[in-house]
Structure 1
Amino acid sequence: MALGLTGLMMAINQTFALKLLGFYPIGNAFLYYLIGIFLAAALLCFPARKADVNRLPWYDWLLATTALGCSIYLGVNGLRMTQEGWEFFAPIEATMTASLTLLLVLEGVRRCGGWAIFAVALVFGLYPLYADHMPGFLWSNSFALDETIRAHVMGAESIIGVPMQVVANLIIGFVVFGIALTVTGGGDFFMNFATALMGKSRGGPAKVAVISSAFMGSLSGSAVSNILTTGTITIPAMKRSGYSAEYAAAVEACSSTGGTLMPPVMGAVAFIMASFLGVSYGEVMMAALLPAILFYLALLLQVDNYAARKGLKGMQPEEIPRVLDTLKSGWPYLLSLAVLIYMLLVMRMESHAPYYATLVLLVISLFRRHQRLSVRKGLDFMYQLAHNIGNLVAILAGIGLVVGGLSYTGVAGSFSRELLLYAGGSIPLMLAAGAVTSFVLGMGMTVSACYIFLSILLAPALVAAGLNPLGSHLFILYWGMLSYITPPVALAAITAAGVAGASNTRTSLHAVRLGGVLFVLPFLFVLNPALILQGPVDRIVLSSLTAITAIWLVAASMEGYLYRVGNIKHLARLVLLLAAALLIYPEWISDLIGLTLLGCCYLAHRVAWRRLPTDRPHDGLERQTEGR
């Protein structure tokens, strides 16, 4: 908690140029100090082995102290490092300090990100050592060991590269805002608000899970933490309403996964994307808005069709709060969100906005007893800050080694050129390759790590093939995100299964089936920039309508239920799926054919209805219509 408070004060001092006690370090020194503080916090919060979960061994204290000492040395010598070019030639003690820092970064990424990210960071971080032994376009001049260490620790493109700069300048503030919302009761408000909106409708608990996860995910950006907060309430409610444990867990897993894509706070990866693209975070946020809405609309349609097909009801009236009462109790959260969005989109004060929004929320909470920040909540706030940012810093410093290794050898550019050459300029082939690569890497890496890796290797090839740059980067992010709900890893599905007491395998399979519509979405917005709000207004409106129609048809096909018709058989489901595919393709002729197929389905149902004997009871009528 002391480390978290120190890191927060240092970030505020740097962001607002307060120069407290005359302290205002230059850029690289500030980054070294933050890395030391939060890497030390990570080494104290995340155990080296399972046996240390409930204790803090002496070597963790030693590693944390060493991390602080190394960062202080590097920070104090930050200006000298730049002026004398320590990246190329440095005193022996500086090289030794850099070696220790590199080892601590690797240990931090192993603890926080797991062995998969550790292996990726190690292999690509050491790439400059053996690049001259690689074949073809993977070949490059090699570096000596001391040169590689200095380049990674004292260079500007590795551990203090773009990912760490984004953490220092932007992400800390947004993490603070998200934690402030949580500790002051924002989670309860958004859950009650979702219940008030959707609780009465058929399959109400599942829709509450979707909406509440959208709200909470937009603030945390973490699928697992979302499941462990909202899922402990929504999953039991779904089970009480008639949903199986596996289906309830799958709904929560899919809903929580979408938080990475949901504005206004999309997780660390969105800020990194803005830096890579050289655009404002507000632009990334607006581009992701419609895809995020389509994501959650797809889930709502799926669970609604499922509830209609199974005959599931809504929640009991006594379980549903009134909308007005909920808004009266939770208006401070909405006000702070409004302040955040206004400062992001109108004033364009990205680094300052979350701090001001947090201040508004905390000041209002002082006058509201149930939301007031008590001593216990304040301590919890500091612990969550150290824990969450420590986790981010450890992982992104490790991924910085990947960025540095590929940048120093020049292999990143060569890889993109070769991919473009092998694809022969075929956009569908490149998108398929990108989807598979993002998906596979996402199985063993966090979304941020997967995105950073592929934004260097794959995104330039997609852009060179003529695709929209922002759409291409969102495409990579989206497919990396979907690995959370798909086997064999399916981290979000397994976490939700643990909460529901369900089978991991069956939950993962339910999540894939439920998320079938979601696998269509990235192709929609990467092929049609209008869906990321780029282009003429009329084109955006038309594309949005066709995309919504396509999602509706895919949901109807996946669940076997069509509005105004009822349950449908396999042939009708295939026709609807074909109609959806035609609507996805951004051409008016394909849209017209898709709508014609949809009209034929309804017309066939109407004809079948009229041909049935009039003395049939309604149940038999519906069954015979279903058969036709």
Structure 2
Amino acid sequence: MRLQGAPRLAVLVTTAALLAVTIDHTMSLRLAGIVLIENAYYYLITGGFLAVAFLAFPARPADRQRVGWYDWVLAAVAVATGIYLAAHGTEITTQGWDLAAPPLPTAAAAAVCILALEGIRRVGGTLLFVMAAVFACYPLFAGHLPGIFWGVELGAAETVRAHALGQESIIGIPLRTVADLLIGYLLFGVALVVTGGADFFMDFANALMGRTRGGAAKVAVVSSGLQGMLSGSVVSNVITSGVMTIPAMQRTGYKPAYAAAVEAVASTGGAIMPPVMGAAAFIMASFLNMPYGEIALAAAAPAILYYLALLLQSDLYAARHGLVGLSRAEVPSLWATLKDGWVFLFAIVAMAYLLIGMQLEVLAAFAATGLLLVAALLRRRNRLNWAMIEAFIVESGVAVGQLVAILAGIGFIVGALSITGVGTAFSRELVQYAAGSVPLLLVLGAITSFILGMGMTVSSCYIFLAIVLAPALVQAGIQPLVAHLFILYYGTLSFITPPVALAAISAAAINNSNAMMVGFYSMRLGVVLFFVPFLIVIDPALVLIGTPQEILFQMVNATAGVSLLAMGFEAYLYGVGRVSRPVAALTIAAGALVVFPTWQTTAVGIVLALAAYGLAIGARRRLAEAA
């Protein structure tokens, strides 16, 4: 383990101090009698958690088991720089140091830029590092580029000051969202794991659905969905949940590639499932300047449809292949499970109520985390002790440090496009290129979102496209919330779509199945995510924009359409049984038409669905007569 001994103690102390500062600042407690201005707080968070990232994440593969002297040096420089800039937060704001500053603050700004690049290299990988480095240097040569890439050009000192001391780059919207909101939700996710919440979700899903037809797959869908919606981390959710769910699915008869695909799709859905949805949704709230609760409510119906399609296909696959549920010995008692872990469900409901119902975005996460820790202190099983508290603080520091390192580096992209003015020009040119065609603009946006989503985090992909693509979609007449959700959904698709398909590849590695086959199964199981983005643009009723009648009509249509699509993809009709490929194709066509939000297409889809059922019933009768 890398974090042992002195490095672990350093992370423990640093994280505890930073969490105290965060709680005091975000909740305006003023316990120490010190009031930090906003940029001073952001510099402390950036420097402190970058230091944690340097101790937790190795500079090279050979350092996975040890912390080198250079890690200590970088961590010390990060803390010192953060404290120095925080101490001069007022001067940075009032004296315009982002435009002209003395030599020492300029040197500190250069240090912050270098630290941010090293942080994203360690945590985000080579691709993100290269992108961040290119955009960090972009203002240096923007004046020499042609067409839409031309922008305001700055010198080296001006560039580092704009990136590190300005409000648009390193401490821009992404990092401010983490510091002001997301730290609390990351704490909640870690608290769930430390206090046994992950085990409870697995037991709860088992008790609820384990004995049903194809129960192992349904358990994977429910448990991974519950964990994913709170963590928002797709790949880590696949790895932690998949080691239990994938073997269970295989034992009950699911093909290895199909089992891995179910887990990959279920974990990917966590990035779009309220109440938390991961970092991208909170950053979206900041970009749109609207309460996060409204975004969570709007995203609820598409997320439910996504998991409905996955559950139905898992059930239909089990029906088609005659699979049964888990044995009685493998399924815990529902009452005993709820009796032991009801507090986890209560904490989630309380957080959702405070977040969505009361719109207390900051308080919701801290209150739910406190509830979990107090409950763990009183429980007989998994009672809270010092080891759990230490693990909670250290793991929280690593989680926040990872996110801060990524978003500080991604800040270069936002900052460069803002500093040079290229972001606005790019959006304007994109609208002109599409020549007023909204469908063409949507297709271009979908392709761009998908390509950029390859190998990038959902947050990184979303942030970049929110700057360059979302304004173009809004200018074309699309609702701002719909435009941003469109980008988020298509950026998420890359996790389950070959050739990259990080979620599918991670799931395939667990049972050594064919990664490409897992990717293709994942595309089929996650089909809702392919058409919902276009659907909400055509008719935003699915994201609760419209009259009650329009919303109800679209909800019913979408549910019926998703059910038909699931039956078609698995070639199995409820009430009939297995069907031929032509009937399955007819059912898929019927589902696609029913989903489309017009009375005419719905009517045609219903006729096709009735025809599919008629052909299937006729074929079944002929088989019975022949027998």
Classify the TM-score, shorter chain: over 0.9
3-state DSSP of counterpart to 2:277: coil
Question: Which is further off, 553-562 or 600-609?
Answer: 600-609
C-alpha deviation, 1:84, in angstroms: 0.8
- The amino acid of 1:103's aligned partner reads I
Q: 86, 97, 107: which one pairs with 1:86?
A: 97
> How do 1:498-577 residues align onto structure 2 when only pairs under 5 Å count?
498-577=509-588
* TM-score for the superposition, normalised by structure 1: 0.96
- Give the match for residue 621 of structure 1: none
> How do 1:324-473 residues align onto structure 2 when only pairs under 5 Å count?
324-473=335-484
- Give the match for residue 303 of structure 1: 314
Identity %: 51
Q: 244, 248, 266: which one pairs with 1:255?
A: 266
Contact 1:467–1:527 (8 Å) recurs in 2: no
- The amino acid of 1:555's aligned partner reads A
Aligned equivalents of 1:39 and 1:344: distance in 2? 28
- The amino acid of 2:217's aligned partner reads A
What is the number of equivalent residue pairs in this alignment?
616
- The amino acid of 2:275's aligned partner reads P
- Give the match for residue 142 of structure 1: 153
Question: Which is further off, 503-512 or 144-153?
Answer: 503-512
Q: 251, 267, 274: which one pairs with 2:285?
A: 274
Deviations 1:318-351 (A, max 9, x none): 2112222221111111221122122112322111
Deviations 1:289-318 (A, max 9, x none): 111111111111111121112111111122
Matched, 1:323 2:334: yes
Unaligned stretches of 5+ in structure 1? Answer: 618-628
Contact 1:248–1:500 (8 Å) recurs in 2: no
Contact 1:439–1:482 (8 Å) recurs in 2: yes
- Give the match for residue 166 of structure 2: 155
Aligned equivalents of 2:386 and 2:273: distance in 1? 32
C-alpha deviation, 1:198, in angstroms: 1.3
C-alpha deviation, 1:54, in angstroms: 0.8
CA RMSD of aligned residues (A): 1.5
- The amino acid of 2:420's aligned partner reads T
3-state DSSP of counterpart to 1:88: coil
C-alpha deviation, 1:423, in angstroms: 1.1
Question: Which is further off, 401-410 or 329-338?
Answer: 329-338
Aligned equivalents of 1:615 and 1:108: distance in 2? 70
Contact 1:516–1:558 (8 Å) recurs in 2: no
> How do 1:15-54 residues align onto structure 2 when only pairs under 5 Å count?
15-54=26-65
- The amino acid of 1:350's aligned partner reads E
C-alpha deviation, 1:578, in angstroms: 2.1
Q: 193, 197, 216: which one pairs with 2:208?
A: 197
- Give the match for residue 164 of structure 1: 175
Question: Aligned in 2, Cα 1:335/1:514: closer, same or farther, shift over 3 Å?
Answer: closer
Matched, 1:75 2:78: no
3-state DSSP of counterpart to 2:58: coil
Aligned equivalents of 1:388 and 1:260: distance in 2? 16
> How do 1:108-127 residues align onto structure 2 when only pairs under 5 Å count?
108-127=119-138
Deviations 1:111-146 (A, max 9, x none): 111111111111122211111111112212211111
3-state DSSP of counterpart to 1:243: coil
Q: 56, 68, 71: which one pairs with 1:57?
A: 68
Q: 295, 306, 311: which one pairs with 1:284?
A: 295
- Give the match for residue 209 of structure 1: 220
Aligned equivalents of 2:384 and 2:497: distance in 1? 39
Aligned equivalents of 1:271 and 1:497: distance in 2? 30
Question: Which is further off, 479-488 or 393-402?
Answer: 479-488
- The amino acid of 2:142's aligned partner reads A
Contact 1:290–1:531 (8 Å) recurs in 2: yes
Aligned equivalents of 1:278 and 1:137: distance in 2? 27
C-alpha deviation, 1:365, in angstroms: 2.1
Q: 233, 240, 251: which one pairs with 2:244?
A: 233
- Give the match for residue 8 of structure 2: none
Question: Aligned in 2, Cα 1:615/1:442: closer, same or farther, shift over 3 Å?
Answer: closer
Aligned equivalents of 1:471 and 1:205: distance in 2? 35
C-alpha deviation, 1:569, in angstroms: 2.2
3-state DSSP of counterpart to 2:381: helix
* TM-score for the superposition, normalised by structure 2: 0.96
C-alpha deviation, 1:507, in angstroms: 2.4
Aligned equivalents of 1:525 and 1:369: distance in 2? 48
- Give the match for residue 608 of structure 2: 597
- The amino acid of 2:584's aligned partner reads R
Contact 2:377–2:385 (8 Å) recurs in 1: no
- Give the match for residue 624 of structure 1: none
3-state DSSP of counterpart to 1:485: coil
Question: Which is further off, 12-21 or 160-169?
Answer: 12-21
- Give the match for residue 491 of structure 1: 502
C-alpha deviation, 1:613, in angstroms: 7.5
Aligned equivalents of 2:385 and 2:561: distance in 1? 49
Contact 1:250–1:496 (8 Å) recurs in 2: yes
Contact 1:517–1:555 (8 Å) recurs in 2: no
- The amino acid of 1:119's aligned partner reads V
Contact 1:183–1:373 (8 Å) recurs in 2: no
C-alpha deviation, 1:607, in angstroms: 3.9
C-alpha deviation, 1:246, in angstroms: 1.9
- The amino acid of 1:168's aligned partner reads A
Contact 1:13–1:24 (8 Å) recurs in 2: no
Deviations 1:68-106 (A, max 9, x none): 111111110010111111011100011111111100100
Deviations 1:469-505 (A, max 9, x none): 1121111111111111222222111221222232333
- The amino acid of 1:516's aligned partner reads V
Aligned equivalents of 2:620 and 2:309: distance in 1? 29
C-alpha deviation, 1:615, in angstroms: 4.8
- The amino acid of 2:456's aligned partner reads M
Contact 1:560–1:569 (8 Å) recurs in 2: yes
- Give the match for residue 3 of structure 2: none
- The amino acid of 2:132's aligned partner reads A
Deviations 1:137-196 (A, max 9, x none): 221221111111100000011111111111011000111111111111111111111111
Aligned equivalents of 1:331 and 1:514: distance in 2? 31
- The amino acid of 1:490's aligned partner reads A
Aligned equivalents of 2:577 and 2:59: distance in 1? 55
Aligned equivalents of 1:525 and 1:183: distance in 2? 38
C-alpha deviation, 1:529, in angstroms: 1.1
Aligned equivalents of 1:446 and 1:143: distance in 2? 29
Matched, 1:477 2:488: yes
